[in-house]
Structure 1
């Protein structure tokens, strides 16, 4: 009889089993096994009148998994619960223990923050009980999200046709719209600056007017600028030279939030992409010597690093770069931080990005390289520069020129790709020196409105305000776009960074929520609620009392909204439904407006535009084929959907090249990979996997994401990877769904 270990993700189960040995069997729950039911009063799955008692239901897709886990648990001597090391992981462990009938007073909860052999072995040497306070905190969050999400979403759908609302989602939307209103209300103001263009022999530099008549220079218009320039007569004298050695310390190790922000600005990764890529690095990658977890747990709000890791990292820095590059261990103590586990870091500083580049996809390499550089830089010495500030005076005007020269790169030795340092060299000057070649130039400027939120700026704002948790930010951002409340796009063609623009429906949603629920949907209340959840996790507050306090405040507001919120009727087209005779109206869909019957759901007629029809019939039912718009673009499908689900394929048969496969003799054909790259391969694929190589291979390394599917198969076979793609894809979706504290 073996000892059973249950983890969340299948991708890390084999690695952990290898570390533990033959006495252990490691299996996966594939995330959450159950969730709140949708039965009972209001479909909440919560008995509000009975201390908010929840009713849980095993997810349909997890019934087979639970059945298998129960069978394995019965045959095992010991069952260990090794779900992820956060509140949601604690709740998953509790759900498993409850469903499998395990003793919850037993020390069977295993916590590790990285998937390496030493960390896993140490975790199993120090098991503990399930922390019921953490479970209560997580379940309180889930109940709050269910009540707010279900009740508000139902209200908004019935009144204004909006799709959803949420405890954190709606506050994030409010921030976006508040910023948009600030931009609309912004009044541009003119101001001027004056630069002194100084030439000394073959050197030139710029000094900026800082003070005039002893006060900070504030120039409103050209007249004032011209008057100041006219007053500057006579000599320009170097009044003072202030030289200093400036130190610039490195940034702290990554938290979830700072990782998402830095990946957004430096790698152009979305928050969702960052987290999904980091998840794979955490769970483990085959790197030639086996599957290894490359980073520590990426859902964290702590900047702390373990003593064991910092000891090895500081020794590596000294041996690789020299003693002068060794820094100190620093940590920021944030009032909002749970500090449940370490910062997000690499698991082994000796595993450089270049040494494992061939085993990683392009995105994995970019993110690992960023995390590696940030981890190492955080423990390195500050960069040093010689700084010089020169004051130049002429009558009542004081100009300042600043120079800086990097004298010691410090942490920039490893972080220079993500943080630049530019020298500004001033010529040799002496106090009292008269500068003869000086020209003054007035420049007109206009004040600019506040910037719209990019993903990085919105995440930073949410974190600073204490709204939500970093692990939820990616889902919040995704939901705002999926619900049609905000668009993420470039404001101009020349701008690189995408920013959030609220949609008309998003502004309407926020307007109604602020009209009736401003006491709850606001920054201050949402942040206070997060603090209360923290206090529940620490055993300082009773979760039932906190839920009751919230509900008694929320329910009257909801009833008032049902009574007083104006219902927006669908716009009538003046046409009648050809199927039932009711009026046709314009409805809002996920992919835009469409015309449909007002008698929905009894009548499901949807009008098709004439230009959307094609002169073809469905080969399955004989109905007409029409153009539809989906998440990934336009396609043609049967007009009788959902009764007939035929979709016309736009794939063309592979084009023969006239050459024969040298391995099996079948024709060679042109194919297109999933990434759009054309290649020549055998028509006998997958039995024959021959790929014709280019006669003149490129000098530069081919980006991993641009490889053809067939090339990836060959590479996969060479590395002896056995993970099935379909299983991996399904697991990833399940993981993403289960690892975010989603709002209904």
Structure 2
């Protein structure tokens, strides 16, 4: 049987119901659960959006948006229309604003009334829950759609007006501003400013080593009070406290302490209970994965998406966790009962509280229809599913499983001891405290967090007995600046300030890094010079856009739209009216030739500045490329820092030791896939026309796909399958299941004279040193070819360059010499 016929045969025949979801992995899981009576297809995310090259919002008509089918989704829409003919339609997209909006657009494109009961909602992908959901469809919630529509229109109005202004102001390419993005950037910038403005302050701490009568060991205590005044130890207010600011002050006090006679004034022993943390929300999951596993917020969400959408287990395909975009800590009663059963068997009945724990959401506006993030079946232990998960999936699932069980376990019990030692005159008081864990409780499952400092136990001493001060330790310390943000602390701060929502935390952080506004050093985030310049400009010209309180208020208003309490155009106007006022105050950039305003224009070669008086005035000005920025990684070839640079075809990663070290690799968005050829990361990149393609990060590797990679692997060879239309095909040319149409067709030779005929043989360029500064503008392939030519590698071996390599080298030399010539002239394009 031909392969195409086999694939058609694998599709459900005689299906009466079409179910539309977002992703192929989710479609595959649900198809297996529902069986042949249903045909499940993927929309691959949003199928429509506002137009790319125009505002797409009619401000005069209550901000009415103009939607169009996205270019890369037109085949998907046509496939869905064909599949929907004569079938009942169910929309099973994610249970949030974005999912509701996708469903609304799909229903309208397929000619269905969104008010009909066609929306299916579930928060976990398990056979029981999915089957129950398809039996109880509801109409699409217009309030949710309106909230998403308001959010999209707000973001478009801001980005469409601000992004060109930033490019005009800084004469740089690919700059952007966003309602949440710019405020998050302000947080990072202001933290860096606070660190730079910080001036360390010296303070001294005195500790005494006491031999206590009847004590088992020496007791070390910290000086706590001097004549009724507490010592300032670098934290909190100094007013009313004793500040030992110099060695002389500390030494003089130490001498006075040594002359005193001491006794144990008080011994306090009490029980301290520590309650478990609630189950995960999106933000707390990202924080824990960052601090415990070292995962970025974006990586955490990609892994969680796979765990939610379904994993193949021996008993069938099942989602391992509930929906991962939530700000609720509510848990279904049946899940609590299952967790208590597992706790009793795995840890013992003594770890179970008498009654199940119930958690309340602390913040108003939480979507309580959602549950917290938890395992769909607590009985499915991490070890039992480990053979079916990747290492990163296993580690994240274990984190979620342990957190959920811990949330239903007993408190941890500590015995806390505080000992106060005072001199007989009552002038000086030392204090020592410590704790001993008496019952693990929830810590048995969750363990201690890295930031929790364990207090050493205090030796047992009787109260009222004499104590001899044997030694005074004088310790010089300095106050410390606030720490730089990590993914965990930035997400936590955004949540506390009400900036963004569960679906926006990870994309916001990823955008800041992608735009070159922030960079990483290990796990910490710091602003780049460009990020600081953009924030300074926005604070001066658009203070409302980056105001924490205003941004949080807009999020609350969007929640009110979702609840049906306010019409969405009113919320948009509340933002747009003051934004227009700020926009009108921005001075225009003018043409130096005719005085008319300059504007951002786009050509096939990218963005540039041009006069609005064209064609009467032809003044143009190129935009500068972004300066090279460190990415916080070391070069694998030489160990020097790696930089993110900008070339003609976008950004790429290169060694800072160039030209001594020629290491480069592609820059793009990690897809979570591993290259089947070399083991590197597969990145999603964009062509000059904005079309996505998928490439290995290693430039020495030629793995490339113009089709999105699916989560599942080819059963015949193990390569990742790719999606072409509605088909899942193997990309491996050596695989018997390979589809030849996936590879680009070879170009036919043009009739007539060969373009390469009569060209002189290639030789290393004599002007190489003059050409080196213009290398960053080349594509990685051109750069490799021309650098190999310059080094004379093939010639040294007595070989000629391969035809393709020679073609790339010629083209690169042509570009380099053109740029060298242009650099000698005025950099203005007529």
2:541 maps to 1:516: yes
2:77 maps to 1:66: yes
2:124 maps to 1:114: yes
Structure 2 CA distance for partners of 1:672 and 1:75, relative to 1, 3 Å: closer
Distance, in Å, in 2 between the alignment partners of 1:272 and 1:26 is 27
> Could you tell me which residue of structure 2 aligns to residue 49 of structure 1?
60
Aligned partner of 1:474 among 489, 499, 506: 506
Q: Deviations over 1:320-367 (max 9, x none)?
A: 222221133231322242334001111111111111111111111111
Distance, in Å, in 2 between the alignment partners of 1:539 and 1:409 is 46
> Could you tell me which residue of structure 2 aligns to residue 430 of structure 1?
462
RMSD of the TM alignment (CA)? 3.2
Distance, in Å, in 2 between the alignment partners of 1:457 and 1:518 is 24
Aligned partner of 1:587 among 624, 633, 648: 624
Matches within 5 A, 1:710-725: 724-725=720-721
On the 8 A contact 2:202/2:246 being kept in 1, the answer is: yes
> Could you tell me which residue of structure 2 aligns to residue 3 of structure 1?
17
Residue ranges of structure 1 left out of the alignment (5+ in a row)? 491-497, 571-581, 594-625, 636-647, 651-670, 677-708, 710-715, 733-744
Q: Deviations over 1:110-142 (max 9, x none)?
A: 110011112112212322111101100110000
On the 8 A contact 1:303/1:343 being kept in 2, the answer is: yes
Structure 2 CA distance for partners of 1:243 and 1:565, relative to 1, 3 Å: farther
On the 8 A contact 2:227/2:428 being kept in 1, the answer is: yes
Aligned partner of 1:407 among 438, 448, 454: 438
TM-score relative to the length of structure 2: 0.69
2:311 maps to 1:285: yes
How much does 1:585 deviate? Answer: 7.7
On the 8 A contact 2:58/2:65 being kept in 1, the answer is: yes
Q: Deviations over 1:381-425 (max 9, x none)?
A: 111111111111124111111121111101111112756784622
How much does 1:532 deviate? Answer: 0.6
Distance, in Å, in 2 between the alignment partners of 1:147 and 1:298 is 29
2:203 maps to 1:197: no
Aligned partner of 1:380 among 391, 399, 409: 409
Distance, in Å, in 2 between the alignment partners of 1:628 and 1:13 is 35
How much does 1:439 deviate? Answer: 1.3
TM-score relative to the length of structure 1: 0.76
> Could you tell me which residue of structure 2 aligns to residue 449 of structure 1?
481
Q: Deviations over 1:595-632 (max 9, x none)?
A: xxxxxxxxxxxxxxxxxxxxxxxxxxxxxxx9999524
On the 8 A contact 2:279/2:373 being kept in 1, the answer is: yes
Matches within 5 A, 1:104-503: 104-162=114-172, 163-199=175-211, 203-217=217-231, 218=242, 219-232=244-257, 233-327=259-353, 328-333=356-361, 334-394=363-423, 395=425, 396-416=427-447, 418=449, 422=454, 424-436=456-468, 438-490=470-522, 498-503=523-528
Question: What SS is found at the alignment partner of 2:431?
Answer: strand
How much does 1:18 deviate? Answer: 2.3
On the 8 A contact 1:9/1:731 being kept in 2, the answer is: no
> Could you tell me which residue of structure 1 aligns to residue 113 of structure 2?
103
Structure 2 CA distance for partners of 1:723 and 1:300, relative to 1, 3 Å: farther
Residue ranges of structure 2 left out of the alignment (5+ in a row)? 1-14, 232-241, 592-596, 601-618, 631-646, 657-663, 667-675, 682-702, 704-711, 729-830
Distance, in Å, in 2 between the alignment partners of 1:556 and 1:156 is 17
Distance, in Å, in 2 between the alignment partners of 1:252 and 1:565 is 57
Structure 2 CA distance for partners of 1:729 and 1:373, relative to 1, 3 Å: farther
Matches within 5 A, 1:13-28: 13-28=27-42
On the 8 A contact 2:155/2:178 being kept in 1, the answer is: yes
Structure 2 CA distance for partners of 1:292 and 1:400, relative to 1, 3 Å: same
Distance, in Å, in 1 between the alignment partners of 2:725 and 2:273 is 47
How much does 1:504 deviate? Answer: 1.7
Question: What SS is found at the alignment partner of 2:570?
Answer: helix
Structure 2 CA distance for partners of 1:723 and 1:417, relative to 1, 3 Å: farther
2:723 maps to 1:727: yes
Distance, in Å, in 2 between the alignment partners of 1:549 and 1:335 is 21
On the 8 A contact 1:211/1:398 being kept in 2, the answer is: yes
Q: How many residues align?
A: 608
Distance, in Å, in 2 between the alignment partners of 1:585 and 1:350 is 61
On the 8 A contact 1:190/1:447 being kept in 2, the answer is: yes
How much does 1:221 deviate? Answer: 2.1
Question: What SS is found at the alignment partner of 2:331?
Answer: coil
On the 8 A contact 1:300/1:340 being kept in 2, the answer is: no
Aligned partner of 2:569 among 544, 555, 567: 544
On the 8 A contact 2:714/2:721 being kept in 1, the answer is: no
2:662 maps to 1:631: no
Question: What SS is found at the alignment partner of 2:145?
Answer: helix
Structure 2 CA distance for partners of 1:675 and 1:215, relative to 1, 3 Å: same
Deviates more, 1:476-485 or 1:626-635: 626-635
On the 8 A contact 1:133/1:538 being kept in 2, the answer is: yes
Distance, in Å, in 1 between the alignment partners of 2:263 and 2:718 is 75
